[in-house]
């Protein structure tokens, strides 16, 4: 088989001489703006010689990828306008904002969104000054940039974002420029496989464009230094038909790019037309483009005798000493003048009218496309009544049930009611996390080869809506693209391995924070909902590697306006929280709920009230009503709550005069002052629950120091004693794991005895009994490989 890929021929040039002249001029204007953004704070059209005061004090920005980005944008505009295409743009190369912001300004969208950046000399001056300037915009395609749903602050996610945006958008084409440095990242490498999950009947299309400019910050890129045949074979292996557009001469490159885009757009439409006409979706070979151009294309060829264009030296600011080096100032002036701005802008500083006509109109402009401001397209989910999925709890703490199973039934009907704008994303764990009821409505989408045995429980389907792939990077990238383009979704994964997406969570939280609080024209998008299951306390068979509750620690580091953390203690509170999260916008909701069987404590009515408060006294577990408690026993998390309740039962049995108040926390941020988080507690609320001077024994699902981090400002913090996971575990029984980390019932009883004044001597025998139980239970686990029946079959006795 020939894997050399397709190269455009030069026998037929699709652009007329006039079209070629106009496109070259428009591109020169973009490149002029890109250089001006990086260097200039004044004198935008070079109507006089460049002076030191015209140059920024701070030079921050990347020039290398900008010409290629605006080149692609220009050519996409041509086919959008000709064919009335619905298309958005993803800029993968890092710090590539000049190559995107320039086109948005020339199209007029930037001035519409920011009227002070008007289409005249004064507006252009402000436009230049704002770039990478304190208090203004960054060098990435940040939320402030019209037409963007992908910042690129961290490399690797452009392609997964692009594929997520095209799901359930049958008329949308997402053009995604992938940087060749970015292509070396793990998330980007797995994202190439996204083409196996696109159904050409009901989904749109992604056009990947690999920007092969050869260099990263200070090194060549891998894909630029392998042979053409190997590169073509790589993308054939991924399942694409690669087309190569290569060179540096603008005229021939414009002709080649125009011809190639004509071809690939025709291929995309042919694939979709055939599938939609036949009603039969198969895995096609989608087209993609490899665009090989010099890094820093059209910039200075040499600087101080060193190669610049086509070198790593053009990656960022090619020269940064223009305020002190007169030769470099002259070089900058010559560079800017080479674009002939006097031919591009009229006397007022506005782009010439014949060049403005090259851009599409209205919402067909990629900078104004509604899919890039997805909140404008978002429709509320049609949600079933979560009460219909409740577990019946006749007696609290007596019934065992898998907490996430009712959630799966609820999500099944959420999917049933929203078959065009809701999807569930997760690794190979939907059934493992007890969410398999979803398959009753929609299977797992699978466009690759199907085998006969798949029909026997494989749950695969060409038109499935459940997204499963063993790459959390790609999954969360799909979800983010899906949400930011106006839809809704739910992501689940094993708790310990949520750390795979730590940095992706960071980036999305930052995007939401800026969008929500600083970009008023961005409409709210549906929240990102993350379920962490298969949790730390039920990893008796998987061992130490699967024991890590630390993802929520990371979440607390991000903006309080966009982060929420919930630890429902049972199935009914989980249902209430899930309904609440699916209704929310502009947040990241993290829910921690184990999949194993657990005791059920709340009726659905009690769950509604408890979750509305986020924190509260459990009256049935307390005996302090009408008096001050001697101790507050608190819990957060399903297993932590069960052990804290068991300790409370032991205290009430052996020390009946001891007044114990039991407090349960569902909303973790209730442990923080309201001055620090909108879900936090006031001083009066916290003091009322936890007192100002009584010992508090807090049994926590995660790392214990997180509670101290949140609650340190409250008055009674010095009496707050937190138990949680302390990195002690391996192949352990549930009780053994709790004992090793001191979250077990016996240890909690000892904590109370040690900390309540007067109990140390009075309850010495009980303390000895608890210490004996710890020793005996550990020995029993090591001998029998299980816990004693009195632990595994324990129920709430009151």
Q: What are 735-794's pLDDT values in tens digits?
A: 999 999 999 999 999 999 999 999 999 999 999 999 999 999 999 999 999 999 999 999
Q: What are 638-657's pLDDT values in tens digits?
A: 999 999 999 999 999 999 99
Q: What are 143-184's pLDDT values in tens digits?
A: 999 999 999 889 999 999 999 999 999 999 999 999 999 999
Instruction: Output the CA–CA distances (angstroms, integers) from residue 241 to 194, 198, 202, in the order listed.
Output: 15, 15, 21
Distance CA 615, CA 19 (A): 66
The more confidently predicted of residues 277 and 542 is 277
Q: What is the structure's pLDDT at 11?
A: 52
What percentage of the chain carries pLDDT values higher than 90?
87
Helix (H), strand (E) at residue 709: helix 705-711
Q: What is the structure's pLDDT at 12?
A: 77
The more confidently predicted of residues 135 and 225 is 225
The more confidently predicted of residues 9 and 452 is 452
The more confidently predicted of residues 316 and 703 is 703
Q: Is the dihedral of CA 73, 78, 81, 86 positive or negative?
A: negative
Distance CA 634, CA 696 (A): 7
743 is written with which tokens? 């979250």
Distance CA 591, CA 98 (A): 39
- At 546, is the pLDDT very low, low, confident or very high (cuts 50, 70, 90)? confident
Which residue has 């104004």 as its token pair?
Answer: 368
Q: What are 346-360's pLDDT values in tens digits?
A: 999 999 999 999 999
416 is written with which tokens? 């049933």
- At 8, is the pLDDT very low, low, confident or very high (cuts 50, 70, 90)? low
Q: What is the structure's pLDDT at 19?
A: 96
Within 10 angstroms of residue 32's Cβ, the number of other Cβ atoms is: 25
Within 10 angstroms of residue 372's Cβ, the number of other Cβ atoms is: 26
Q: What is the 3-state secondary structure (H, E, C) of 64-116?
A: CCHHHHHHHHHHHHHHHHHHCCEEEEEECCCCCCHHHHHHHHHCCHHHHHCCC
Helix (H), strand (E) at residue 274: helix 250-278
The more confidently predicted of residues 11 and 748 is 748
Which pTM was predicted?
Answer: 0.96
Beta-carbon contacts of 701 under 8 Å, excluding residues fewer than 6 positions away, are: 535, 536, 537, 549, 567, 592, 636, 637, 638, 639, 640, 724, 725
- At 1, is the pLDDT very low, low, confident or very high (cuts 50, 70, 90)? very low
Beta-carbon contacts of 574 under 8 Å, excluding residues fewer than 6 positions away, are: 403, 404, 406, 407, 568, 591, 593
Q: What is the structure's pLDDT at 152?
A: 86
Distance CA 602, CA 587 (A): 27
């Amino acid at each position: 088989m020939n894997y050399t890929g397709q190269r455009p021929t030069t026998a037929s040039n699709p652009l007329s001489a006039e079209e070629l002249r106009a496109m070259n001029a428009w591109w020169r204007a973009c490149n002029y703006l890109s250089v001006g953004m990086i260097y200039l704070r004044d004198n935008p059209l070079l109507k006089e010689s460049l002076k030191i005061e015209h140059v920024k004090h701070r030079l921050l920005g990347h020039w290398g990828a900008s010409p290629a980005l605006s080149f692609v944008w220009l050519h996409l505009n041509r086919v959008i306008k000709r064919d009335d295409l619905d298309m958005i743009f993803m800029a993968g190369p890092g710090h590539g904002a000049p190559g995107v912001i320039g086109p948005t300004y020339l199209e007029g969208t930037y001035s519409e969104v920011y009227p002070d950046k008007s289409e005249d000399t004064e507006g252009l001056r402000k436009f230049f000054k704002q770039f990478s300037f304190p208090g203004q915009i960054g060098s990435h395609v940040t939320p402030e940039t019209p037409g963007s749903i992908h910042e690129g602050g961290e490399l690797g996610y452009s392609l997964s974002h692009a594929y997520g945006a095209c799901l359930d958008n049958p008329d949308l084409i997402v053009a995604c420029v992938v940087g060749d440095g970015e292509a070396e990242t793990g998330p980007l490498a797995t994202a190439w496989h996204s083409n196996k999950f696109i159904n050409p009947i009901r989904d749109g299309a992604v056009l990947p464009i690999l920007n092969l400019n050869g260099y990263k910050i200070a090194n060549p890129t891998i894909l630029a230094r392998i042979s053409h045949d190997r590169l073509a074979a790589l993308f054939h292996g991924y399942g694409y038909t690669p087309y190569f557009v290569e060179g540096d001469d603008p005229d021939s490159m414009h002709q080649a790019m125009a011809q190639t885009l004509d071809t690939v757009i025709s291929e995309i439409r042919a694939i979709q037309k055939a599938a939609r006409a036949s009603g039969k979706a198969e895995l096609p070979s989608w087209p993609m483009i490899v665009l090989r151009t010099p890094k820093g294309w059209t910039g200075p060829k040499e600087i101080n005798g060193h190669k610049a264009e086509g070198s790593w030296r053009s990656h960022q600011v090619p020269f940064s000493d223009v305020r002190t080096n007169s030769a470099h100032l002259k070089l900058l002036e010559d560079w800017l003048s080479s674009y002939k701005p006097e031919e591009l802008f009229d006397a007022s500083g506005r782009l010439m009218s014949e060049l403005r006509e090259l851009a599409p109109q209205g919402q067909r402009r990629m900078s104004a496309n509604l899919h890039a401001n997805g909140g404008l397209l978002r429709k509320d989910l049609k949600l079933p009544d979560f009460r219909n999925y409740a577990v019946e709890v006749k007696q609290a703490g007596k019934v065992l049930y898998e907490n996430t199973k009712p959630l799966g039934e609820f999500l099944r009907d959420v999917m049933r009611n929203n078959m065009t704008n809701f999807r569930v994303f997760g690794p190979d764990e939907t059934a493992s996390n007890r969410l398999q009821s979803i398959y009753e409505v929609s299977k797992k989408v699978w466009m690759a080869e199907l085998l006969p045995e798949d029909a026997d429980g494989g749950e695969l389907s060409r038109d499935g809506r459940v997204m499963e792939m063993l790459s959390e990077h790609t999954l969360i990238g799909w979800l983010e693209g899906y949400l930011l383009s106006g839809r809704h979704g739910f992501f689940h994964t094993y708790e310990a391995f949520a750390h795979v997406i730590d940095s992706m969570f960071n980036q999305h939280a930052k995007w939401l924070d800026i969008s929500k609080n600083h970009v008023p024209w961005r409409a709210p998008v549906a929240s990102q909902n993350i379920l962490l299951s298969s949790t730390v306390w039920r990893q008796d068979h998987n061992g130490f590697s699967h024991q890590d509750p630390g993802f929520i620690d990371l979440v607390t580091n991000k903006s309080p306006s966009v982060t929420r953390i919930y630890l429902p203690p049972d199935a009914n509170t989980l249902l209430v929280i899930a309904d609440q999260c699916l209704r929310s916008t502009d947040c990241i909701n993290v829910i921690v709920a184990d999949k194993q069987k657990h005791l059920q404590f709340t009726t659905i009515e009690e769950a509604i009230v408890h979750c509305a408060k986020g924190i509260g006294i459990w009256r049935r577990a307390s005996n302090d009503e009408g008096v001050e408690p001697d101790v507050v026993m608190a819990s957060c998390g399903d297993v932590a709550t069960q052990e804290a309740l068991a300790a409370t039962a032991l205290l009430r049995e052996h020390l009946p005069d001891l007044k114990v108040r039991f407090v349960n926390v569902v909303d973790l941020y209730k442990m923080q002052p309201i001055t620090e988080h909108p879900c936090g507690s006031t001083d009066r609320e916290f003091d009322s629950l936890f007192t100002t001077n009584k010992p508090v024994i807090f049994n926590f699902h995660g790392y214990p120091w997180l509670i101290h981090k949140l609650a340190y400002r409250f008055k009674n913090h010095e009496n707050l004693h937190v138990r949680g996971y302390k990195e002690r575990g391996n192949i352990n029984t549930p009780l053994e794991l709790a004992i090793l980390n001191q979250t077990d019932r016996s240890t909690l009883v000892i904590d109370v005895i040690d900390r309540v004044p007067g109990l140390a001597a009075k309850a010495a025998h009980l303390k000895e009994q608890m210490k004996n139980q710890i020793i005996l239970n550990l020995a029993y686990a090591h001998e029998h490989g299980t816990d004693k029946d009195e632990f595994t079959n324990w129920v709430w006795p009151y």
